[in-house]
Structure 1
Amino acid sequence: MKKILIVFGTRPEAIKMAPLVKEFELHPEEFDVRVCVTAQHREMLDQVLTFFDIKPQYDLDLMKPGQDLYGLTAAIITELKPVLEDFKPDFIFVHGDTTTTMASSIAGFYSGAKVCHIEAGLRTHNKYAPFPEEINRQITGRLTDFHFAPTTASKENLVKENIDPKDILVTGNTVIDALIQSVEKVKREPSSLIKDLDDKLNKAPLLLVTGHRRENHGDGFIRICEALKTIAIERKELQIVYPVHLNPKVLEPVNRILGDIENIHLIKPLAYHDFIWMMDRAKIIITDSGGVQEEAPSLGKPVLVMRETTERPEAVDAGTVILVGTNTQKIINETFALLDNEAHFKEMSSRHNPYGDGNACSRIVNFMKELDLKNV
């Protein structure tokens, strides 16, 4: 029996790892699977665990007020040591590009476990964008034994870095597995918050906004907010919903610039199931999130990405997203183009999602079944 430790710490990781946990649990005769959460995010992480009915065997509960990257990195490595000594996993699974991912891969490497990286191979080749995620991915990639790449482009990035192709499997992205499993449930069982918000929207076209990335703090968020203000004022029929990240560097400019505009709804961050409903309800999504770039095209939603570069170029190439950065006029122009040009909107919303078909987790589990412990 193969012993597998799955480690994650943030809401996006939890969303993308949850369907993998469930897939492994379908094969108890072959895998002894345990889940460890660092709780790099706490409340938002717990919402996802509850939605997917996952009960971690290990909870490091590391989130602290004023937490910085120095302390978090050290704490993850130190606190994972007794977990690894207790369980002695053969494989440690990490996801994506967070500090939890990078530090857990180091700890797993120190313990002698084989590191398995979900969503491997994404690159911008700019170590400051996104920060610190690009370097977290690259460090994890150097420590990884088995790379589960979401696309062929991600695999090609790894091959260029001299990773042996036999250690890379193209799977699609597990976030699509999570989305497909969740969207119908959310439609059947909308929360009271969503019911109330839906009444306020009154069937008006909805523009959904999310934004939190460090590289946009400061002037970037001011330009973003000025764009949203102009869009709201010039298009009174449009309702804009913005679940605002709790970081003060986001809260301050958003509330100052957008707080008094009638058709802009500034709300608290949404639980995963509520956010899925909101994406499905939206006409257009404006975001700086990586996960939304992957999810929204499966729901037929055009996405404007408030980043100068993306480690997900497949979406740009496929025409499912458009990079607008934090350029105020470009955000306005691209939004109006989608609202005013029905042919453009339909073309973008009907494009094929390059990130998968919802079967990524079964591909990963089947790969792990075939591995011979004696030869890895």
Structure 2
Amino acid sequence: MAPLDLLALDTLLSDEERQIRAVVRQLVDDRVRPEVPQWYEDGQVPVRDLAREFGRIGLLGMHLTGYGCAGASAVAYGVACLELEAGDSGVRSLVSVQGSLAMYAIWRYGSEEQKQRWLPRMATGEAIGCFGLTEPDHGSDPASMTTGARRDGTDWVLTGTKMWITNAPVADVAVIWARTDDGVRGFVVPMDSPGVAAREIRHKMSLRASSTGEIVLDGVRLPADAVLPDAAGLRAPLSCLTEARYGIVWGALGAARDCLHTTLDYAGTRQQFGRPLAGFQLTQAKLADMAVELQKGYLLALHLGRLADAGALRPEQVSVGKLNNVREALAIARQCRTILGANGISGEYPLMRHANNLESVLTYEGTSEIHQLVIGQRLTGLAAFA
């Protein structure tokens, strides 16, 4: 039995949602699974090739409307993220950063000229985007960012450094957030602009099948129309993070499902003490607990997706999903590893790769502690961030 068949959760999806899931699952099976162990080991991933393939089936910015985007539902986007992360968290991150951060920022806050220039090419994967908010000294506290933008005549001049930026080393365009005299503003920055440099971050132990970089902005001169006209203050970049976190709520379940599916297969065939591992009570207790948590996480993600499609999803509700589903997915990956014993650390199985990736997913787009404080503020009415 497949892990998500336990409660017949397929019956909760529409025919269109199941069809989209099947298309993405097939692409992951054909394109990602055969190669991702080597990508992970090498720390290299063919971002541009993948982006074009994802663009061909409408995955990039799929929940946005117009400009070549598919206009799919939030739930359809969620099940796509689940299937992508069942392949690898880094592959799902490519799609999330492209669509829910870079494209969404331009789509939601950009001028019509910015949208026409970038979104159609980003939707096809011809142009790669990234999202520059995090800095070397400011991750969970973006209000303390030091990257600045100043006026010089009609131009803007940007100076600063962004860190841990997915897609940065291969990106064509970055959405950069900087402090100005009028507060935090967003800028659309072509990566070939003079003064822009991107450096690949090496020696990662997690998300190795993802291109991650540092962006250095050294007096980058941009025209007046580079600013996102409808983005003012931190509320704008934080709304983009909410979009990306929603995809993570679903994506983490994909990593957990892949671990549990692998473990069920292994436990059914691995013989110890004259019987399959799956025949021992302790093993079945572990499998049962993991399956229950996976079902609960799926129901939570689906509920949030339906709220999003109804226009009723709130940021703290996304925090509930991200906090719970990533935390439980990581616990499932670790527990599955114990059932495989020494084989659990082998690259022949995806468990350690998923567990290592989920350590990053636990941290990015808001650490567990940040999401606990978001939920705590909702419950108490008191902010405890400082």
The two structures have a TM-score, normalised by structure 1, of 0.29
